Amino acid sequence: MAELTDRRVTEVLATSTGGVGTHLRSVLPALVAAGADVRVCGPRATEELFGFTATGADFREVGVSAGLAPAADLRAVRALRRTAAGSDLVHAHGLRAGLVAALAGHRPLVLTLHNAAPPGGGLRRRVLDAAERATVRAADVVLAASADLAANAVRLGARDVRAAPVSAPPLPPPTRPRAQVRAELGLDDARPLVLAVGRLHPQKGYDVLLDVLAAGVAGDPLVAVAGDGPLHDALAARVTAGGLPVTLLGRRTDVADLLAAADVVVLPSVWEARSLTAQEALRSGVPLVATAVGGVPELVGDAAVLVPAGDAGALAAALGGLLTDPARRAELAAAGPRQAAGWPDEAATAAQLVTVYAELLARR
């Protein structure tokens, strides 16, 4: 592995409760082991949630928001200029962090694209498009988590775009028997369990999933949703009003146990790059129904059932078809780990970062 001895590297992220923070936390040990003096800059809540300093990295609070907030972004730019002063390289994770890093003027700049820009129109859309274009053009290297993100960065004029598949960290082994977990959820042996894991956010498509459950699904499953986020109250109100078979579990640290208890995992997202949930489901041998968006098709191949985003009828048919077809579930359960065996692991992901950093620093 290339060496980064005595090099100051600053990692920047915006508000994160899921994939971006998980990815950054997973690669930090390799950067520290390569000799880098690593500083993470982001909202205080990210350090409290992911524990970046436990890897040997330093942490400094920089309030990079996840949404469009010009005044907050200007404060973040000033803070990043101070906290990243003296850095040999800055790596921003996500468009919002990338914009702040680009405005702060630190070079060389690496940008990892984890997600597409949010949908919308009008003035807000034009502002977001301009910010996205300026950010990818400011980066010395753009790392894209999926092929569609890479193609879009090239279209916007990025100078150096490289594929950088994000690997989900391995889950620990389950600690509780399947029957115990199901009993805790109020399930008997006969009723199927469908599991969804992800932030309660419009991107995740939970409104469509509730539409499906309101109309009824063959097999009469209970759907357990592990995650928290801004849509919690609205989803909870709809579940209660409609008497829907849904349990909102909140943020969980026992995803491995939940996967072991599930019959099917559902991922109804509007968009995903390399979904950590999809990776965890296939590795665990749990049949997956997901939307054919972003990087999901290239990630799962033929080892999952894919449906169009926003199509409640197709989602209902896919879920009901699997829940009433044990043989098909067994096929997918076997196909998942085979598909996952071809993915790069955390070590390969981290090694790519070290190589990119060393290349840019040598060029500098």
Residues 6+ apart with CB under 8 A from 150: 113, 142, 144, 161, 162, 163
pLDDT tier for residue 67 given thresholds of 50, 70 and 90:
low
Domain limits, the chain: 8-167+344-363, 178-340
pLDDT tier for residue 70 given thresholds of 50, 70 and 90:
low
Look at residue 68 and tell me whether its pLDDT is greater than 80: no
Give pLDDT, residue 363: 86
Angle (deg, nearest 10), helices 326-340 and 276-284: 110
Q: Judge whether 8-167+344-363 and 178-340 match in fold.
A: yes
Superfamily name with CATH number, domain 178-340: Glycogen Phosphorylase B; (3.40.50.2000)
Give pLDDT, residue 19: 84
DSSP state of 204: G
95-140, pLDDT tens digit by residue? 989 999 999 998 999 999 988 766 666 776 687 788 899 999 999 9
**Which residues pair with residue 9 across a beta bridge?**
38, 89
Look at residue 212 and tell me whether its pLDDT is greater than 70: yes
Look at residue 159 and tell me whether its pLDDT is greater than 60: yes
Give pLDDT, residue 73: 75
State the Cα–Cα distance between residues 162 and 62, nearest whole angstrom. 27
| pLDDT mean over 197-220 | 96
More confident residue, 89 or 121: 89
Neighbours of 209 (CB within 10 A): 25
Look at residue 329 and tell me whether its pLDDT is greater than 80: yes
Q: Give the 3-state secondary structure of residue 191.
A: coil
Judge contact between 143 and 164, C-beta under 8 A. yes
CATH number of 8-167+344-363, picked from 3.30.1330.180, 3.40.50.2000, 3.30.2130.30, 3.40.50.300: 3.40.50.2000
pLDDT tier for residue 312 given thresholds of 50, 70 and 90:
very high
Look at residue 306 and tell me whether its pLDDT is greater than 90: yes
Look at residue 236 and tell me whether its pLDDT is greater than 90: yes
pTM equals 0.89
State the Cα–Cα distance between residues 222 and 249, nearest whole angstrom. 12
More confident residue, 127 or 9: 9
CA end-to-end distance (rounded Å), the chain: 19
Look at residue 1 and tell me whether its pLDDT is greater than 60: no
Give pLDDT, residue 119: 63
- Tokens describing residue 37: 């003096």
20-53, pLDDT tens digit by residue? 999 999 999 999 999 999 999 999 999 999 999 9
Neighbours of 114 (CB within 10 A): 25
Residue 152: CA atoms inside 13 Å, Cβ hemisphere, count? 22
| pLDDT mean over 12-22 | 88
Give pLDDT, residue 71: 63
- Separation in Å, CA 153 to CA 13, 125, 138, 142, 312: 19, 17, 11, 8, 31
Give pLDDT, residue 74: 84
SS (H, E, C) 55-77: HCCEEEECCCCCCCCHHHHHHHH
Give pLDDT, residue 189: 80
Give pLDDT, residue 188: 86
